[in-house]
Amino acid sequence: MKSTGIVRKVDELGRIVLPIELRRTYDLAVKDAIEIYTDDDKIILKKFQRTCIFCGSGEECVEYKGKTICAACMAELKGEAK
């Protein structure tokens, strides 16, 4: 894990502002979803990415009846395996 040297204070509502440099570097836009993990004494933020319910891939995913499915699994389900 790389240290940025950036320190931010938590406001009275529990919010932390992510510096613009980090938002640009990690392609975070307004209203993007962020996943929050913990690992021992660490809090880890990760840009949320939908993954296929069958294989876990995050590539070429589409929503189908409320579920996320990648193009490869969709083709396999249709009988058109790539």
* Residue spans per domain, the chain: 1-48, 50-82
pLDDT at 82: 55
Q: For residues 47 and 37, give the distance between their C-alpha atoms in angstroms, rounded to a whole number.
A: 11
pTM: predicted TM-score of the whole model, two decimal places: 0.61
12: tokens are 């009275």
* Torsion of the alpha carbons at 31, 54, 45 and 43, rounded to the nearest 10: 140
Tens place of pLDDT per residue across the chain (82 aa): 777 888 999 999 999 999 999 999 999 999 999 999 999 999 999 988 889 999 999 889 998 888 999 999 999 988 875 5
Predicted local distance difference test score (pLDDT) of residue 18: 94
Q: May I ask the CATH class of domain 1-48?
A: mainly beta
Helix extents (H) in 1-82: 20-25, 71-77
Angle at the Cα of 55 from the Cα atoms of 66 and 65, rounded to 5 degrees = 15
